[in-house]
Amino acid sequence: VIAVVGTGAMGAGIAQVAAAAGHPVKLLDARPDAAARAVAGIRAQFAKMAEKGKLTAAAAQAAGDRLIAVEHLADLADAALVVEAIVESLEAKQKLYADLEAIVGAGCLFGTNTSSISVTAIGAALKHPERLAGLHFFNPAPLMALVEIVSGLATDPAVADTLFATANAWGKTAVHARSTPGFIVNRVARPYYAE
C-alpha cells in the first residue's frame, strides 16, 4: 500500500504513477473533499489514456479502482511507503512525519517530495530518521521521467536503494542525490535561469 499525503498537482500525479504501477494507493489531504476530488481527477486521466489507446479499458478501470480517498492519518496504518507532497514548510513536514511514526509500522518508509527543504532537517524531528529520504518527482509526475532519491545524513542506504528501485519499477529514471540545497536539478537550474 502506497499512501500519498497532499493531493495537489504533485501528490495527485505521484498517486497516479503508483496506481498505474499496480499499487493500492491511499490519498489523504487536510482540505475537505480534496482527496476525493483527486481520485476522481486521476480516474478521468486513466479514462483519457484508454480513449487514446495508451491503456486498455480494463487496465484503466483497474488502476482507477486502486485509488482510495481517506480522511484520517490513522487510515494510513497499513502503508508500506508514505509519500508526502504537502506545503513547503519544514515544521509542517516534521509534524506530519512525527505523527505518522505513531501510526505506521516499523517497516514503513517515508518519502518526501520536497524540492527545497533539507531532508536531514525534516528527519531531525523523527525518532527513526533513517527511514526518511527524498522522493522528488517533477511536475507533471506522470510525464516527467526523472526522480531524485535524496539521502539525508541519517537516511539508511537500504532505504534510499529501495526507493531508487521503486521509482525505476514505476517506469521512472531514478538518480541518487545528497541533501544539498536544490539537490541536483534545482541546484543546476537556478543559476541557469538567472543567467
| Count of helices and strands (H, E) across the chain | 7, 8
Q: Which cell numbers in the block locate residue 109?
A: 518508509
Give every CB contact of residue 127 below 8 A, 6+ residues apart in sequence: 98, 101
**Nearest Cα to 139, choosing from 46, 14, 29?**
14
Distance CA 156, CA 8 (A): 29
Amino acid at position 23, single letter: H
**HSE-up of residue 28 (Cα within 13 Å, Cβ side):** 19
Q: Which cell numbers in the block locate residue 111?
A: 518519502
User: What's the DSSP call for residue 129?
Assistant: G
Identify whether the C-beta of residue 38 lies closer than 8 Å to the C-beta of residue 11: yes
Q: Count the neighbouring beta carbons within 10 Å of the beta carbon of residue 35.
A: 26
Query: Can you point out the beta strands (E) in the chain?
Result: 2-5, 25-28, 67-69, 81-84, 109-112, 132-137, 146-151, 173-178
- Catalytic site positions: 115, 136, 148, 186
